[in-house]
Amino acid sequence: MNQIDNEPTPDELDLSPPEGYESWLVYAVTTFDARPAIMHTIFYDTSSASRDTVEATVLAEFNELRVRAGLSPITRR
Residue 58 in any domain: the answer is yes
**What pLDDT, on the 0 to 100 scale, is given for residue 4?**
66
Q: What is the pLDDT of residue 45?
A: 67
Question: Is 29 part of a structural domain of the chain?
Answer: yes
DSSP states of 6-69? -PPPGGGS--PPPTT-SSHHHHHHHT---HHHHTHHHHH------HHHHHHHHHHHHHHHHHHT
* Domain region containing 29: 20-68
Residue 42 falls within a domain, yes or no? yes
How would residue 18 be classed by pLDDT, with cut points 50, 70 and 90?
Answer: very high
Provide the number of structural domains found in the chain: 1
In this prediction, residues 51-75 reach a mean pLDDT of: 94
**pLDDT digit string, tens, across residues 23-57:** 999 999 999 999 888 887 777 766 677 889 989 99
Q: Which residue has the higher pLDDT, 10 or 30?
A: 30
